[in-house]
Structure 1
């Protein structure tokens, strides 16, 4: 929607005289966004930074506004903001960060690797890794597990195996050591109003270069090993040999960038869904019992058969649990864009050049779409309930032309992985209460998420 003369100015979220809203956005952004919607409405303006260096950030919280920015008017809201630029410089210009013709070319080359039929073929790896994790828990857990670390490792093993095949163990060691600090480094630079050029030999820059060099070398080594091996079915081999008449093939730098983006986006999103689904089920034994009854009926109880992609359709309640966990704990709680043309969202002016964000964290708790929004209720995701809500009341995978290419893989991994773990174990709340959270590139637990487990 283009801007009209009657459009209102966005209300400004009050901050401190010295730093505006910067402290709130750095220290507890999720609470700051919720307060802003409650106090000021669905389109607000944060002013962050010291006087003279202050910048405006527009936040849009309605489902209709999210749809406008991500889908219907997506061409006017681009990935040109400082955070995406910092991420590009750290992990490359893959599908998550690229734009325009580069993005379209990459998407056309990569899309055949993520068809439903090909993704369904990874169900065996998911089931095997989940069974291996269950075996480890039986012998090593001591009756209690920390879900965030365990599920991150599980998701890394799955995506690493799908990406790298037999090279997964070596790859995971490097990824775990280098990728999280590179993300944190990029985020801090994105928020900083004054930052040293990356070329300056500051301690932070030098650490980042070492980590990036190690990560790039790993990917290049694996990619090179696949160039003469067209007989493997891991994603790196398929990427190496991907080409078409219109777009050619991916060069060495593009291959590395796609691999890194798949690692970044492919494990943290799923790990968050898995960890918080189990956390929620541990706190809600009635829903856990209903899931287990469904799983036992499909897979045959403890020690039963391995899951297949065909089982996805036979586990509707577990699928609803995953969706509800993604509603309450979206892996990407905030999605940023930059307006490249004057626009009007919800009757409010957003000028060209403005940094704009939409927030699954807030929209998926919006009382206009969700009754008692903090309550865990998987039945919000019956087909009838989903059809009755606006399309973008729930958008953990983004939306529009930049929607996550791996969302079917994430759902397959989440549903089938949980099915195996819930078939083998009962999960009990250990009384830890709510989990303190932060928002980096992805949603982060600031402390352990521990539950008791008992083998069935």
Structure 2
């Protein structure tokens, strides 16, 4: 349970209305972008009020360093996130700190993201990436691709296959899988409830609430079937996330997760494992489309690995060599972190930026504005993957970049997501020319995460690539006198 914070003395938006609060100039569809605008006007710490509830936003790198202090703050499950508990229960993402299943599941699942496990996931990631390539090949010189939709298909199939041996077959279906339809409706409803007017909303939205209950029940039933089938198969391996949850005992007390919590974790990973990654890929492709110099540098990197190969099948080790492609992803996540905000709760009486805060009070870290703090330089709106050159990274404060949250409750699957995204982005820019036929202007859609909306692009096949240096040298090597000619390696 939290207490109300006395925000007296903190900046707040103008035109506050008694009882109602700070609703003037805000839209239910754009809460993050509205908060960003207010941060630009009011500074790196400010308060907003909504029907008597005070919320404090922080975005300065020095202030975020304070709330990242694990001795003073812990994760807070904000109301907008708590509403998803009707779908995900006490999963890793939505569990309250005092719920024992969070730490238990975290400890059991850590091996799922080890180096060995990541190598094991790579073939399935590559299989799904090839599905997207096959689909996009059908669009070349014919019709545009809907970027965010296809990135969602890719990431959902990937987490389904790698985590639970469940194939949504998203690229083989004209319409999304019924599970996906129920999940999308459920998440949209949970977010809409966060903007619901007190007293009136529950009456007006009774039908939507009933549909939400049906969707939550359907999601639970599908996952329960997956769990039951795995059990009945007699498979006791721990090769994927579901296997770990079913068969791996806790490393200390030897207990295992109960079926209800396993269901909650599966749904959690299906939500978090595809929503944020698909958004990150979509933003990265947008910025590559609009920054041809950056695109050329990234293509030179992939060409150096795969040259003229028509359909390269990257190895796990090769993905690790795509350092500049990874910087492109990081810079896209800097400008538009797809999980745009996270909340922290004071676990002791303390201060933030000199402002008193009591134990139990909570604040929201506004990641897009943190990533535009002055520590990032003068032109923070410019897309510059060079910000993630190793020497520049070392020079920045450690808490200046938070696309995956912070502390022990930070995203457990961040390396999984970045490997998957780097693999796919490398394959796309090696194979295609990205054509800005529609002169797309970025428009952000806000749901549980951030994504570009209405983002279409045309594709053409690349016909000229930068040759790898070693191959070029090999082709120029003169014959040895009297000896046989040597084929290029």
Does the alignment reach a TM-score above 0.5? yes
Matched, 1:87 2:87: no
Shift of 1:143: 4.2
Shift of the alpha carbon at 1:95? 0.5
Alignment of 1:347-426 (within 5 A): 347-426=354-433
Deviations 1:78-132 (A, max 9, x none): 4243223212123211001112333211211111111122113212222221122
Q: What TM-score do the two structures reach when normalised by structure 2?
A: 0.84
Worse-matched range after superposition: 249-258 or 75-84: 75-84
Contact 2:440/2:455 (<8 A) preserved: no
Structure 1 unmatched runs, 5+? 1-6
Cα 1:191–1:95 shift into 2, 3 Å:
same
Partner residue in 1 for 2:145 = 145
- Relative CO higher for 1 or 2, CA cutoff 8 Å, sep ≥ 6? 1
Q: CA deviation at 1:21?
A: 2.3
- The aligned runs of 1:160-239 (5 Å cut-off) are 160-169=160-169, 173-192=177-196, 194=198, 202-227=206-231, 228-231=234-237, 233-239=239-245
Give the 5 Å matches for 1:228-267. Answer: 228-231=234-237, 233-244=239-250, 245-267=252-274
CA contact (8 A) 2:74 2:347 kept: yes
Q: How does 1:35-114 map to 2 (within 5 A)?
A: 35-48=37-50, 53-73=51-71, 76-98=73-95, 99-100=97-98, 101-114=100-113
Once the two structures are superposed, what CA deviation does each residue of 1:48-94 show, in whole Å capped at 9, x if it has no partner? Answer: 2xxxx321110011122223223434x53442432232121232110
Higher helix proportion (structure 1 or 2): 1
SS in 2 for 1:336: strand
Q: Does 1:449 align with 2:455?
A: yes
3-state SS, counterpart of residue 26 of structure 1 = coil
Q: Distance in 1 between matches of 2:124 and 2:179?
A: 19
- Report the structure number with the largest CA radius of gyration: 2
- The Cα of 1:44 is off from its aligned counterpart by 0.6
Query: What's the counterpart of residue 273 of structure 1?
Result: 280
Q: Per-residue deviation at 1:316?
A: 1.1
Measured after TM superposition, the shift of residue 338 of structure 1 is 3.8
Note if contact 1:67-1:399 (Cα within 8 Å) is conserved in structure 2.
no
Cα distance between partner residues in 2 of 1:13 and 1:391? 30
Deviates more, 1:216-225 or 1:142-151: 142-151
Q: Give the Å deviation of 1:196.
A: 8.3
TM-score normalised according to structure 1 size:
0.90
Matched with 1:154 is 154
1:129 aligns with 2:128: yes
CA contact (8 A) 2:61 2:375 kept: no
Greater shift after overlay, 17-26 or 284-293?
17-26
Tell me what 2:117 maps to.
118
* RMSD, matched Cα: 2.6
* Separation (CA, whole Å) in 2 of partners of 1:391 and 1:86: 31
Tell me which stretches of 4 or more aligned residues in structure 1 moved more than 4 Å.
Answer: 195-201
Q: Matched residues in 2 for 1:112 and 1:295: separation?
A: 30
Query: For the residues of structure 1 that align with 2:12 and 2:267, how far apart are their CA atoms?
Result: 38
Give the alignment partner of residue 295 of structure 1, picking from 296, 302, 306: 302
What is the CA–CA distance in structure 1 between the aligned matches of 2:90 and 2:436, rounded to whole Å? 42
Measure the CA separation in 2 of the matches of 1:450 and 1:199: 38
Aligned equivalents of 2:403, 2:418: Cα separation in 1: 11
Gaps of 5+ in 2: 1-6, 463-489
Contact 1:79 1:97 in 2 (8 A): no
Aligned length: 444
Distance in structure 1 (CA, Å) of the matches to 2:218 and 2:23: 33
Deviation at 1:201, TM superposition (A): 9.7
CA shift in 2, pair 1:46/1:156, >3 Å: same
